[in-house]
Amino acid sequence: MFADIIGMSGTFLVVLAFFLIQLDKVSPKGLVYNLMNLIGAILLLISLCINFNLASFVIEIFWIAASLVGLYKLYKNRKPQSAQTKSQVA
């Protein structure tokens, strides 16, 4: 029962993230989308450790990896505040 609650919470987050993109409420390259996917996939992975399914387990590993890549790119592409201010002044 606990695993089902965790898994359904993860499913809700992943599906909600997708719907928010379709409604133009979040950016697919943004922090909110990537965090929702990451947390959702982790919750699903936890539930799969209790009720194992190999195919679902593998896709959640890839979903986590894709979310981490998105978060890394977001972090890497951030400009320091002073650099943003200078480019706006020029």
Chain mean position to CA 35 = 4
pLDDT > 80? residue 82: no
- In this prediction, residue 56 carries a pLDDT of 96
Percent of the chain at pLDDT > 70 equals 89
- In this prediction, residue 5 carries a pLDDT of 95
Q: Confidence class of residue 40 from pLDDT cuts 50, 70 and 90?
A: very high
Q: Using the Cα atoms of residue 13, residue 16, residue 21 and residue 25 in order, give the sign of their dihedral.
A: negative
Spatial contact of 47 and 6, defined as CB atoms under 8 Å apart: yes
Q: Which domain holds residue 42?
A: 2-89
Q: Using the Cα atoms of residue 11, residue 15, residue 16 and residue 21 in order, give the sign of their dihedral.
A: positive
pTM higher than 0.85: no
Quickly list DSSP for 47-61. Answer: HHHHS--HHHHHHHH
State the total domains in the chain. Answer: 1
Q: How far apart are CA 23 and CA 36, in angstroms?
A: 16
